[in-house]
Every structure is written in C-alpha cells, then in structure tokens.
Structure 1
Amino acid sequence: MDTLTSEVSARELRGHLADVLGRAMYGGERVGVTRNGKLAAVVVSVADLEALEAFEMAQDVEAYRKAKAEDDGGRVSLDELRSDLDS
C-alpha cells in the first residue's frame, strides 16, 4: 500500500500503542499493522476516517442519482421475481 507511512507488527503495536496513536493523531501518519507478515489493519487519524466516509457518501449519492436518472419506472412484483429466479 503506497499511502502507508510505516508498518508495525501486532506484537510491536502492543508495546508502542501510545506512540502509534500519537503518530496517527498528530502526525497524520497511516500506520499499517501486520500479522504474520501480512497487512491486517491500518491506524489512521479521525480526519482521515472522516474524509474516507465523506468520499464514500459522495460515491453513494452519485450512484443513487445515476440509478434514479436511468430508472424507467418499470417494477417487478416479488412473485414475478421469485418465478424468474426459479426458472
């Protein structure tokens, strides 16, 4: 992952949690946490998380608007759907 500032193992995280949190909170670092040599999680700041959530919301709104614009108004009943799935 190109946006990670650094990585620590889960074992190292246990001993350096305050440091890792400080680096994320105040330094804006994105610290990867590895387990068995594989990236398992990422510690990020609240600001990074809020930005990610805003980005996801914008994508959802755009997808909704696109789906609404493409809606032809046709509807399928639950019984019709079930019979189509059984076919």
Structure 2
Amino acid sequence: MSEIAITDARGRLASIIDEARVEPVYLTRRNRPVAAVVDAAQLDQLLEDAEELADIRAVDSAWDETEELGETPVPWDDVKRDLGLAP
C-alpha cells in the first residue's frame, strides 16, 4: 500500500497515476488516508462487484422476510404466465 501526503502529491500527479495502475495510492492529510487514486478499470470492477453484492443482499433479505412472514414464494413459471410471457 502506497501513501503520499496531499501536499507532496501536487507535484507528482503523473507518477502517482502510474503507481495507481499497479496498486491504489492513498492520499493522506495529517497522516490519515483521505482519498485514493486507483486504476480506472479496477474502480469499474469494484463498482460492478459492489452492485452485485447489493443485489445478493437484497435477495437474501427478501428470502428472510418471506420466511419470517411464513409466506410461500410464487413460482417463476406462474409469474411469467400471469404476465402473459409464457403459454
């Protein structure tokens, strides 16, 4: 993990970007991380993964709620038929 003070980073932007292609570079203020420079492709992947994880948690929560309420899930084939999407 690479860290650099914001005051030092001002003059090293190009080299910080080069470093960030390999691993995140943390920008610090008063020796505390306040921001990070990461490779754009890595950020895109992290955002996709976070969205996927949020979806998984939402499904888990829905299943838990269904179980707590003692409800029976509607089969997918019934849903499609009710919506006119299946014969």
Matched AA of 2:31: G
Deviations 1:3-51 (A, max 9, x none): x2x1111011101011111222xx3221111101111111100122112
Structure 2 gaps, min length 5? 70-87
SS at match of 1:71: helix
Would you say 1:53 and 2:47 are equivalent positions? yes
Residue of structure 2 in register with 1:22 after alignment: 18
Alignment of 1:1-87 (within 5 A): 4=1, 6-24=2-20, 27-72=21-66
* Regions of 4+ moved over 6 Å: none
CA distance in 2, matches of 1:47, 1:37: 28
Structure 1 gaps, min length 5? 75-87
SS at match of 2:12: helix
SS at match of 1:15: coil
Shift, 1:60, TM fit: 0.8
Matched AA of 1:37: N
Kindly name which structure, 1 or 2, has the bigger radius of gyration based on alpha carbons: 2
